[in-house]
Amino acid sequence: MSWRIEIRHRTGYRYESPVESSYNEARITPLTTPAQLTLDSRVEVVPGAHVYRYWDYWSTLVHAFDVHVPHTELVVTGTSVVETSSKPAAEATVGWPALAGDEVRSRFAELLAPTAYAPFPEVITEATAELARRYQPREACDAVVDWVRGALRYEHGTTGVSTSCTEALAQGVGVCQDFAHAALSALRSMGVPARYVSGYLHPVNDAGVGEGVEGESHAWVEAWLGDWLALEPTSGSAVGARHVVVGRGRDYADVAPLKGVYRGGPCANLGVTVELTRLA
């Protein structure tokens, strides 16, 4: 089954006093992959700016721009049309001995190491040591999803973009970003290469054609077991046609939708809206 989805992602900053200059990067354009085809995309900036594109180290499409006119508001809008399909579940072709071998550990060193968002706290290493003893890698990945969903309760607004999985687990609550970081920490601490996936999730399973709904950015993970296996730690459901991939990396820091630096007054207000419309 395939979906055709239009995505409109708008981010607006309002400043207390004029900003003289700013330098920015946006990662809001869906990738084209074997399970996903981006049919149309554009990124618009107000005030007007020259936007150039490049592919970053992790193969995410980046729109970079800088603004050198005084402004008290910056608005970045990304609009895309993407066709998605359900990808067959990956089969595990490696076991624990291969994952522990030098070839895998060297090839995926960056996706096995702890990060600021996904360190290896004791609460995770103790749990995953037991999971690795009880299960083979494929079953252990599912067990990690179950463990994360048992350790965290989804609650919007309880954490921020700088929250680590250690902090979220201590509170017992978080959002999709926190669920993804906890899953990454658990998988990597077991020796399973894992990467953070940033994108969108259409929230309505049986959405009607032409029906626009409010959404938001979403995060899930992929684990390498000889092929990449997509895992949804927030809901525990399968990753399918309602998921739209924008970028992949070690954690949120590699794929933040919009980041930059500026010179001027402090930000007084930040507003983000995401609208998803099923076209077919």
Total tally of structural domains belonging to the chain: 2
Domain harbouring 141, CATH code? 3.10.620.30
Q: Are residues 163 and 220 in the same domain?
A: yes
CA pair distance 261, 275, nearest whole angstrom:
26
User: CA 275 to CA 159: how far, in whole Å?
Assistant: 23
Please state the pTM of the whole predicted model.
0.97
- How far, in Å, CA of 259 to CA of 277, rounded? 26
Average confidence (pLDDT) over 130-145 = 97
**What is the rounded average pLDDT of the residues 164-186?**
98
Same domain, yes or no: 233 and 115? yes
Q: Whole domain around residue 176: which residue ranges?
A: 96-202+215-254
Angle CA 67–72–73, to nearest 5: 75
Q: Does 162 lie in the same domain as 23?
A: no
Q: 19 and 35 share a domain?
A: yes
Residue 89: its pLDDT value, please?
77
91 assigned to some structural domain = no
Based on the fold, state whether residues 224 and 117 are members of the same structural domain: yes
Task: Provide the pLDDT for residue 87.
Answer: 78
Sign of the dihedral through C-alpha 244, 247, 251, 252: negative
Give the pLDDT score at 91: 81
Same domain, 224 and 272: no
CATH classification of the domain holding 8: 2.60.40.2250
Question: Is 210 contained in some domain?
Answer: no
Assess if residue 80 is contained within a domain: yes
Kindly tell me if the per-residue pLDDT of 201 is higher than 90: yes
Q: Are residues 70 and 113 in the same domain?
A: no
